[in-house]
A and B are shown apart, each in its own frame.
Chain A
């Protein structure tokens, strides 16, 4: 690998020190999670945290030259991957074994810290532990599947943030002058009478000094992105050596200023991106040469301002990503149906790469290949109010683009009241506010089982009530507000009692003791001196199972449909959407399956592989147009819009389809009737009239 053992370097260098700190924190987290597992906590989240800790160690030790840690991490990860995928079960013995692994990691880390090497005695070979890990990983699968929601557990705790910042003397001098001015203004205030004319002038001066002060402090927090870029040449060199590739890093826009805390938070996502680019992106020299590319691959790290945000790009000139291979892998893994795969475009295929646990790499390497990465990158960047995009041209290369706000210290936010308390909702996740008066409540809020939905411009949006989520009182006698939020691409509504004027809030971190409370991302002190907690909308959405799109969509739809099914002997009624089908018959679908009612013009319909499709939320949705209503309409030159019901089917992996219907007639509770002599499936009785179930949506059980 061409990496000198640390002992030869004399002492522990900065990179290793950082690794020791980060690994120590990762092991703390691992131990906590193992304790949680023993206490019967949610396997999914705990296993994902443990997996991430071990994976991080594995990803780093390779290029630092610690083969003993590498072997341990590799064996541990193999076991954890099987546990995660439900291929073997977790029990007391497995937890003990993982505890042993944690202890061994710690002892090796201690050796590195104190002696600069991993241990040279015979006892330091870990043969027995490695064998036990291997045996556990190949143990008989359990009948109980312990599926893990991959690595989308909350990643909050382990992030070493440097606590010092380099500030130019000139900025400090400016701050000192401003403090002087502030003191002067205060003294004048103390002497002035409220009635004096000068009082207004003093107020204006105070306002101006405060604004200047804030701006200068913000400037002091800004650090050049180049500081961050400088961490990567060594990482790139070592990873490239491990992969047998030759790579050159190029930096553009290193002088771009970014808030210190953001800089630290971008460190891990960027490291992931660079590792991925080398391991998956850049081709081996023997492949590059025949393709007419320089043998040495190029990775460009670029930072620039755009639209009030900072954009940081990692661009490689490698092989690019093969859409077809991505889609094929997604189909193999059951993430999408083959039909849906065929209809997918480039952007959709790129989105698949952000799915937890998704990897196109056939081989599990020491650097990557277990599908931990892009989803974590996205989650980390979204947590600081940013976004991630991926662009790739086959044969030419891939660009990972992260957009982050200029600062995290001050963010615009909507202030909401719930019960007696105030909460801040950052504008970055807020789409709109809707006021609901008590008299309108029944018309716009519908319940499906225990889930509430809000009808927003013909679209059903899932609703969360903040007072219920947090278990606090509410005051909604005269109506309430719904904040329409977006988290991880999913839209949902949050009910709050009232709202106050939006404010630019100064974000204060919450005590580490409250790290376990995922509902909050911090706190702030409002203008009137009150303290408000800042809501973490992504976590709120996740806690309500609104986030993890595809797999959970299937479970959600199935779960909701099952929840709606009347129990035997119970003639319960369930909400249904009644429409006129192509034969002008009354037909129904369970309302739980309906995401949105769209009015679509014929020209919005396209044909792919002989099937009608339309674009919906950046996704292609296949149309089910039994009577070829749209086609006939197009032939006849009619330009009138048609209703399309965007639904998720309870069968077929919950795939999203668009049902073309003649007319939407009603939304009402109906009763499922037994399939007696009907040749065409089940029927329902809604408002005293019969309606036939739309094919593929009959999963509801009949009432007795």
Chain B
């Protein structure tokens, strides 16, 4: 489906960093960007849920992008991208190491996911944009949603474990 994207179309992406890699998430899907989040752990929660955080009078569940990538869970006061879970209609926070800026990218610079990319990353990434430096990996926000992760990510982790 993503291969059919109009290559001429440009995109506005929020740039963020986790580990050594740069990622981009479509601006229109982002509700808010938060720095220095104060996170509260939820004992017994699935590993990808780093905890909850207070956000405008609500309590949001926070998904650790580092855990989704198979990295060690992150830094003490991470940054968060507030997104909306399309299935449940709830907002949630995606925790990343750093928030950078907003960039415009050209559709023609987009490349699909490489065929040898592992299954987990293939579902999280939606291709990448060629840049002068490191590629800007485009995220698939629909696969960062807690409702999707509950059904797919845990199973995948169990599968890997076996």
**Would A513 and B40 count as touching, CB distance under 8 A?**
no
Given contacts A421-B40, A523-B52, is CB(A514)–CB(B59) below 8 Å? no
Complex Cα distance A421/B60, Å? 17
Complex Cα distance A514/B52, Å? 10
Chain A residues positioned under 8 Å from B58 (CB to CB): 508
Flag whether A529 is at the interface (Cβ < 8 A).
yes
The residues of B with any CB-CB pair to A shorter than 8 Å are 38, 40-46, 49, 52-54, 57-61, 85, 88, 90, 92, 146-147, 149-150
Least CB distance from A420 to B in Å reads 8
Flag whether A500 is at the interface (Cβ < 8 A).
no
Flag whether A3 is at the interface (Cβ < 8 A).
no
Chain B residues positioned under 8 Å from A512 (CB to CB): 88, 90, 146-147
Chain A residues positioned under 8 Å from B49 (CB to CB): 513-514
**Would B90 and A511 count as touching, CB distance under 8 A?**
yes
Interface residues of A in 350-382 (CB under 8 A from B): none
Closest 7 CB pairs of A and B: A513-B146, A470-B43, A511-B61, A523-B59, A531-B40, A508-B59, A512-B88
Interface residues of A in 472-521 (CB under 8 A from B): 472, 508-514, 516-517, 519-520
Chain B residues positioned under 8 Å from A388 (CB to CB): none
Flag whether A292 is at the interface (Cβ < 8 A).
no
Given contacts A525-B57, A525-B59, is CB(A511)–CB(B88) below 8 Å? yes
**Would A519 and B90 count as touching, CB distance under 8 A?**
no
**Would B59 and A513 count as touching, CB distance under 8 A?**
no
Chain B residues positioned under 8 Å from A511 (CB to CB): 52, 60-61, 85, 88, 90, 92, 146
Complex Cα distance A474/B146, Å? 29
Given contacts A513-B149, A531-B53, A531-B54, is CB(A471)–CB(B44) below 8 Å? yes
Chain A residues positioned under 8 Å from B53 (CB to CB): 531
Chain A residues positioned under 8 Å from B90 (CB to CB): 511-512
**Would B149 and A510 count as touching, CB distance under 8 A?**
no
Across the two chains, which residue of chain B brings its CB closest to A466?
B43
Chain A residues positioned under 8 Å from B44 (CB to CB): 470-471, 517, 519
Least CB distance from B9 to A in Å reads 32
Chain B residues positioned under 8 Å from A525 (CB to CB): 54, 57, 59
**Would A513 and B54 count as touching, CB distance under 8 A?**
no
Please count how many residues in chain A sit with their CB below 8 Å of the partner chain's CB atoms.
23
Chain B residues positioned under 8 Å from A421 (CB to CB): 40-41, 43
7 residue pairs of the A-B complex, CB under 8 angstroms, read: A421-B41, A510-B59, A511-B146, A513-B85, A513-B150, A517-B45, A531-B53
Most central of A470, A524, A530, A533 by chain B CB within 10 Å: A533
**Would A520 and B42 count as touching, CB distance under 8 A?**
yes
Across the two chains, which residue of chain A brings its CB closest to B158?
A39
Least CB distance from A32 to B in Å reads 9
Least CB distance from A409 to B in Å reads 12
- Binary contact readout A302-334 vs B (1 if CB under 8 angstroms, 0 otherwise): 000000000000000000000000000000000
Q: Helix, strand, loop or mixed for chain B's interface? A: mixed
Chain A residues positioned under 8 Å from B38 (CB to CB): 529
Complex Cα distance A456/B154, Å? 43
- Binary contact readout A522-564 vs B (1 if CB under 8 angstroms, 0 otherwise): 0111000111110000000000000000000000000000000
Given contacts A523-B52, A529-B54, is CB(A513)–CB(B61) below 8 Å? yes
The residues of A with any CB-CB pair to B shorter than 8 Å are 421, 470-472, 508-514, 516-517, 519-520, 523-525, 529-533
Complex Cα distance A293/B151, Å? 56
Chain A residues positioned under 8 Å from B146 (CB to CB): 511-513
Most central of B38, B43, B52 by chain A CB within 10 Å: B43
Complex Cα distance A324/B149, Å? 53
Complex Cα distance A529/B49, Å? 21
**Would B59 and A531 count as touching, CB distance under 8 A?**
yes
Chain B residues positioned under 8 Å from A517 (CB to CB): 42, 44-45
Least CB distance from B59 to A in Å reads 4
Complex Cα distance A470/B45, Å? 10
Least CB distance from A515 to B in Å reads 9
Complex Cα distance A517/B52, Å? 14
- Partner pick for B61 among A514, A516, A529, A532, CB 8 A cutoff: A514
Least CB distance from A410 to B in Å reads 13
**Would B45 and A514 count as touching, CB distance under 8 A?**
yes
Complex Cα distance A674/B88, Å? 63
Chain B residues positioned under 8 Å from A524 (CB to CB): 59
Chain B residues positioned under 8 Å from A532 (CB to CB): 40
Across the two chains, which residue of chain A brings its CB closest to B90?
A511
Least CB distance from B45 to A in Å reads 6
Chain A residues positioned under 8 Å from B59 (CB to CB): 508-510, 523-525, 531
Complex Cα distance A533/B42, Å? 8
Across the two chains, which residue of chain B brings its CB closest to A522?
B59
Chain B residues positioned under 8 Å from A471 (CB to CB): 43-44
Given contacts A470-B43, A525-B59, A533-B42, is CB(A510)–CB(B52) below 8 Å? yes
Complex Cα distance A270/B66, Å? 47
Chain A residues positioned under 8 Å from B150 (CB to CB): 513, 516
**Would B40 and A530 count as touching, CB distance under 8 A?**
yes
Chain A residues positioned under 8 Å from B61 (CB to CB): 510-511, 513-514
Complex Cα distance A509/B57, Å? 11
Complex Cα distance A524/B147, Å? 22
Chain B residues positioned under 8 Å from A519 (CB to CB): 43-44
Complex Cα distance A364/B147, Å? 38
Across the two chains, which residue of chain B brings its CB closest to A422?
B40
Chain A residues positioned under 8 Å from B42 (CB to CB): 514, 517, 520, 533
Chain A residues positioned under 8 Å from B85 (CB to CB): 511, 513
Least CB distance from B54 to A in Å reads 5
Least CB distance from B154 to A in Å reads 10
Least CB distance from A39 to B in Å reads 9
Across the two chains, which residue of chain A brings its CB closest to B61?
A511
Across the two chains, which residue of chain A brings its CB closest to B51?
A531
Across the two chains, which residue of chain A brings its CB closest to B154?
A516
Complex Cα distance A470/B43, Å? 6
Complex Cα distance A340/B5, Å? 74
Complex Cα distance A514/B85, Å? 14
Chain B residues positioned under 8 Å from A523 (CB to CB): 52, 59
Across the two chains, which residue of chain A brings its CB closest to B39?
A531
Across the two chains, which residue of chain B brings its CB closest to A506?
B57
Complex Cα distance A43/B58, Å? 36
Given contacts A508-B58, A525-B57, A531-B54, is CB(A513)–CB(B147) below 8 Å? yes
Complex Cα distance A520/B60, Å? 15
**Would A531 and B52 count as touching, CB distance under 8 A?**
yes
| Known A525-B57, A531-B54; 18 more pairs at CB < 8 Å | A421-B41, A421-B43, A471-B44, A472-B41, A472-B43, A508-B59, A511-B61, A511-B90, A511-B92, A511-B146, A512-B88, A513-B92, A513-B146, A513-B149, A516-B150, A523-B59, A531-B59, A532-B40
Least CB distance from A253 to B in Å reads 33
Chain B residues positioned under 8 Å from A510 (CB to CB): 52, 59, 61
Chain A residues positioned under 8 Å from B147 (CB to CB): 512-513
Complex Cα distance A421/B46, Å? 18
Across the two chains, which residue of chain A brings its CB closest to B63?
A513
Least CB distance from B92 to A in Å reads 6
Chain B residues positioned under 8 Å from A533 (CB to CB): 40, 42, 52
Complex Cα distance A509/B90, Å? 11
Complex Cα distance A517/B51, Å? 13
Most central of B46, B52, B147 by chain A CB within 10 Å: B52
